[in-house]
Structure 1
Amino acid sequence: MKLTLRQIEIFQAVVEQGNFSRAAERLNTTQPSLSQAIRDLEDALGARLFDRTTRRVDLTEAGRAFAASALSGLGAIERAVSNVRDLSTLRGGRIRIAAPPLLAATALPRFVRRAARAHPGLQIQIADVGTDAILDRVRSGQAEIGIGTFHPAEDGLQSTSILQDSLMVFMPENHPLAAQPVLNWRALRDLPIATLTRESGIRLLVDVGFESARQPLRPAFEAHQIFTLLSLVEAGQAVAVLPAYSQAALYGRAVAVRPLTDPVISRDVSVIRARDRSAPPAVQALLPLLRTTLREMVEEVLTGG
């Protein structure tokens, strides 16, 4: 006969109450049912667990030996159940997010603050890494979700678009082209261009823009970080084509930003997660908040709010 969790719970109640009647009352059962459960447990173990008198119930030597292990095991099971329930109700658990450095520095702190207010027991970890590293972390399980611009058919990944923005041109405030409200790609011909490296999904879109306008792209500078490109622009060394949300990183820099047309290049910012792993409750619950936070940031930078 296999022992059941219910038998262990009944044994614990008798030990703690020292009385069969009080134990039955605590468990909302009848005393005969409880007594039978203890007899079944003793039969299964082949040993008497309690010495019963009219006044009290005491553990036998076998009972004490059984209690030493069984009750600690029951406590471990109860803690495990509690931990799982905490995960499902977001009173505990962890969510790891891999995101590009710019989003990690601008939008995610706001998201973390809001998530912490709503779910103070939830732990949020952020890895500010490049596109390839984001993909690797999500595929390997080092991150539950990744944020960025990705190829729509990445192997093993499920992608959900959370916002869309367009490429814009960033230039020094005193640049001659800053007098124009809108620019086309042809206006960038022969200008020193600062771009992200080819590991970035944004760089691929910049290549598409120049190719569509039939303009050659010969970058004067390449960098891994948008912050570096903005510093080069502010120093008057180049102009850069970057997504609209990059304005969130200007922080009062002397940089002008203008829309690019002919063609307008838009892109999706998406959340990715591994296709073969179920999403933790925290991911399912916090995705709407993440989407709202990112959209608010883009709207604010576009409207100057």
Structure 2
Amino acid sequence: MAHSPLHYERLRLRHLRLLQLIDEHGSLRSAASALNLTQPAVSQMLKDLEFAMGVPLVDRSVRGVVLTETGLLALRRSRSGLATLDQLVRELDAGQTLSLRIGTNSALMYNIIPEALRLLEVGRSKTRFQLKTGLVGDMVEALSEGELDCYVGRLDWDQVPPRIARLLTYDPLLDTDLILICPVDHPVAGLETPRARDLVGWPWAMPSRESNNRIVLESAMRSTGAAGLTAAVEVSADPNGLINLALALGMLTCVPRVALNEHSHARDFKVLDVANLELSSIRIGFATTAELRQMPEIADLREAMLRAARTWTARTNEG
């Protein structure tokens, strides 16, 4: 089946909606009902869409229709675009200016994100910003579904499904190490050269089990031959919460260095230099879709993030 420019020019939004409805219902009859069209009309829409793309988008059987691998890819692309269009319509209906939806990790809310928004003169510019924090997997999924315009944070490509990875563009921003901290009056803080075994037996404020930071820490501990750590408290996707709990409860914890806010708690905790424990660094980057990357507002935001990252890296190296 060859790509048809004529059919492509005739595509409308409802053709793209059709892919969503087929995926949801697995039936052309149900899709037709949702679109308030007859089934023959929907069948013709599907043929037009397949001719426009030049490839089959569904597999047909007596049990209904399902999207092919190519159909699923087309759905991913169209879903992101449709979600962005829906967001624009809501903003225009409400008389709002453009709003950028940014997904990120809580660790970046203390240095990189505030500095980037300061550079963009938030409050004086016409663009508004909606920030959403969460686990990496949730943020990447939301970006691919069109629920976010960009994501700033850790991105482990080997854990990103290929169906999502092919939709994204990526710019590295900075590398940050994982650090271990505890209150200055904790017994481990008084050790001149603590080792991995000295961390065992104490209560920890830990990231949730699915957190990459916890996986890295526990893997590094195992590689030294030390016993497992005791997670007395677990916190999901909130490094600042871990720091506050560790200080309040006299525990140890593990957070990215970029999560430290030098304006608070700096005198209350000690960063531990554990001689035989190697914690891999974290790459922080800026991800968006190929389509959204061309937006001037996204380009400006990306540049502000790069500048903020360079500032933080220089300040950290000087310290």
What's the TM-score, normalizing by structure 1? Answer: 0.60
CA shift, 1:97, in A, is 1.0
Contact 1:164-1:266 within 8 A present in 2 as well: yes
Residue equivalent to 2:243? 230
Deviations 1:34-93 (A, max 9, x none): xxxxxxxxxxxxxxxxxxxxxxxxxxxxxxxxxxxxxxxxxxxxxxxxx9xxxxxxxx74
CA distance in 2, matches of 1:302, 1:230: 22
Contact 1:171-1:255 within 8 A present in 2 as well: yes
Residue equivalent to 2:187? 176
**How many pairs are equivalent?**
214
CA shift, 1:212, in A, is 2.2
CA distance in 2, matches of 1:181, 1:111: 38
Query: Which residue, 203, 208, 221 being the options, matches 2:233?
Result: 221
CA shift, 1:141, in A, is 1.1
Query: Which residue, 99, 117, 125 being the options, matches 1:120?
Result: 125
Contact 1:96-1:144 within 8 A present in 2 as well: yes
Contact 1:94-1:282 within 8 A present in 2 as well: no
Q: Which segment drifts farther, 169-178 or 181-190? A: 181-190
Are 1:200 and 2:217 an aligned pair? no
CA shift, 1:222, in A, is 0.9
Identity of paired residues, percent?
17
Cα 1:239/1:250, change in 2 over 3 Å: farther
CA distance in 1, matches of 2:251, 2:305: 33
Aligned to 1:241, what secondary structure does the other structure show? strand
Are 1:247 and 2:252 an aligned pair? no
Q: Following superposition of structure 1 onto structure 2, how do residues 6-25 of structure 1 map, counting pairs within 5 Å? A: none
Structure number with greater Rg is 1
CA distance in 1, matches of 2:265, 2:292: 42
Query: Which residue, 269, 277, 289 being the options, matches 2:304?
Result: 289
CA shift, 1:269, in A, is 1.4
Contact 1:149-1:202 within 8 A present in 2 as well: no
Aligned to 1:199, what secondary structure does the other structure show? coil
> Which one-letter code corresponds to 1:232 in the other structure?
L
CA shift, 1:177, in A, is 2.7
Q: Following superposition of structure 1 onto structure 2, how do residues 74-153 of structure 1 map, counting pairs within 5 Å? A: 93-116=98-121, 120-153=125-158
Are 1:259 and 2:273 an aligned pair? yes
CA distance in 2, matches of 1:181, 1:142: 49
Residue equivalent to 2:67? none
Aligned to 2:234, what secondary structure does the other structure show? strand
CA distance in 2, matches of 1:279, 1:265: 33
Residue equivalent to 1:272? 287
CA shift, 1:200, in A, is 2.4
Cα 1:189/1:295, change in 2 over 3 Å: farther
CA shift, 1:189, in A, is 1.9
Structure 2 residues not aligned, in runs of 5+ = 1-87, 89-96
Contact 2:104-2:153 within 8 A present in 1 as well: yes
CA distance in 2, matches of 1:278, 1:301: 29
> CA RMSD for the aligned pairs?
3.0
CA distance in 2, matches of 1:229, 1:220: 11
Cα 1:250/1:132, change in 2 over 3 Å: farther
CA distance in 2, matches of 1:93, 1:219: 43
Cα 1:239/1:296, change in 2 over 3 Å: same
CA shift, 1:301, in A, is 5.6
CA shift, 1:293, in A, is 0.9
> Which one-letter code corresponds to 2:198 in the other structure?
A
Cα 1:117/1:278, change in 2 over 3 Å: closer
CA distance in 2, matches of 1:183, 1:141: 47
Cα 1:200/1:116, change in 2 over 3 Å: same
